Amino acid sequence: MVSLSLFLSNFGFAGLILLAILAVILMISNFQKKSLNILGRLSSTYNDIETVLVRVTNSIDQINTRLTEMDNRLQELEDAAARQQQEIIRLADGFHSQSQMSKAIELARGGASASEIMLTTNLAKEEAEAIARFHRA
């Protein structure tokens, strides 16, 4: 009987150790399942972040392309405005010059001398003399 009780006590001790090992294995398995679940969610979140970053990068590239196009268009508009301003200045100079000639002719028809025409219109001496000669009343 001693040997049976000794066997049972040893078997009971071994059974307890086996149960403890099984409990640890179950806890590790449960922890592993939870860890895999968390890892899966993290992987999904990472993939979502990566997708968002790709979209943001593409949007930034499109914005940069549009900004470059707008810069080019702005430069074209500035160049066109500069050309128009030069043309307006050229036309204004021509108009002013024509206006001075008209004024000089009126002065000559009114009997003004070449020197009076020069002083009033700022025309060159030769121009004032020619106008006075050809347009005198």
Calculate the CA dihedral of residues 6, 7, 12, 13 and round it to 10 degrees: 70
- Which pLDDT score, from 0 to 100, does residue 13 have? 75
- Which pLDDT score, from 0 to 100, does residue 8 have? 58
- Which pLDDT score, from 0 to 100, does residue 100 have? 81
Query: Rounded to the nearest 5 degrees, what angle is found at the Cα of 79, between the Cα atoms of 73 and 84?
Result: 125
Question: Rounded to whole angstroms, how far apart are CA atoms 88 and 20?
Answer: 99
- Which pLDDT score, from 0 to 100, does residue 4 have? 55
- Which pLDDT score, from 0 to 100, does residue 39 have? 96
The parent domain of residue 101 ranges over 2-135
Low-confidence stretches of the chain (pLDDT beneath 70): 1-10, 93-97, 137
Q: How many domains does the chain have?
A: 1
- Which pLDDT score, from 0 to 100, does residue 3 have? 62
- Which pLDDT score, from 0 to 100, does residue 24 have? 96
